Chains A and B, each alone.
Chain A
């Protein structure tokens, strides 16, 4: 776990300092399919299903649940 966190922090730091992009270079990142949650309705259903069928839930956002799922 510590190794994963270390790796992520290193990537974050490299992103901050090595290749900063300008506002006019954000065309790719601005596309709908590059959004953090590109399919919110599919995500909503997935969270409901896996919340009902597995012991772990959450992580991507906050909240959830709200059912006595069988």
Chain B
């Protein structure tokens, strides 16, 4: 599909010029999208419209453009993006372009360059005929940062349309949807992504352990369905606690009853892991006999444990510098094509902020607000599944692991 933007200005509404231009586009078998229109407020005021034309092939697009020129609609001459050099580490030049998580390309003197790693709320840095997003704190003096909007093109997210109930429900959040159908479809999509060589990211909250679903996640890791894990101190601690002492926050995972002095169980476990220096060391010497973290160590699945201000301990593997934690998460996103956000609010949103819009994101939570919040913060690709994460994971394991 070939596209061009044309601009037409003047008294184009009353003169039916805009109508004629749009009609001509359709009559030529092309399609249009009105990029923007400024309509004059009074009779005398001119109007201006920019229209993006898409046509199946270049030759017919060129013929159409020639035809439209007669009516005053001229191709908008695109200028390369403006660039300014950073003059201070970690500080962007004023007027920097702020990125979205959508596929983006930048017009440079050498032509269009795609942005390697779309991420929202970053700057775009050009170097060696390449463009990449860089978070504010990581720019360095001399980095060539894109300024303003000109020469930057963002691909509009394509909304799936179709009769498939899953597609139909995409991006909607509801607790009223048939769960079994959704889980089967998520499993099918994970399988398809894996078949394409995509990596699968799991983001887990402590409720995964509280609901008794940690063994299901452990099985997913063991059977190769998780390629990278993001979580916090809580999830890892309760996973280890439940596998070492059989409790989660002091409550027996098997019997569901509080154990005596169990409130300190997680602290004792953290303390023992700290004594050993790392989760890996605690797995090696047999202190951690099983569980999600155990399987990650055994299968060499990378994980990032990002801390928070209310963490106990924390576990020695927890990254407590938030900027470092986000960078560590970024470094594991290459090739990720499916993200499972499992009963996690803060880590799910943090991950959503880092993911390109093209990553299929499934947000499973009993609380609808979490899913809505994720979408409200720009991760429009997230499909919300409002359900108990334990039930979801049991069904997912059933679909994936048989």
Q: Do chains A and B interact in one complex?
A: no
| Interface residues, chain B, with chain A CB atoms under 8 Å away | none
| Interface residues, chain A, with chain B CB atoms under 8 Å away | none
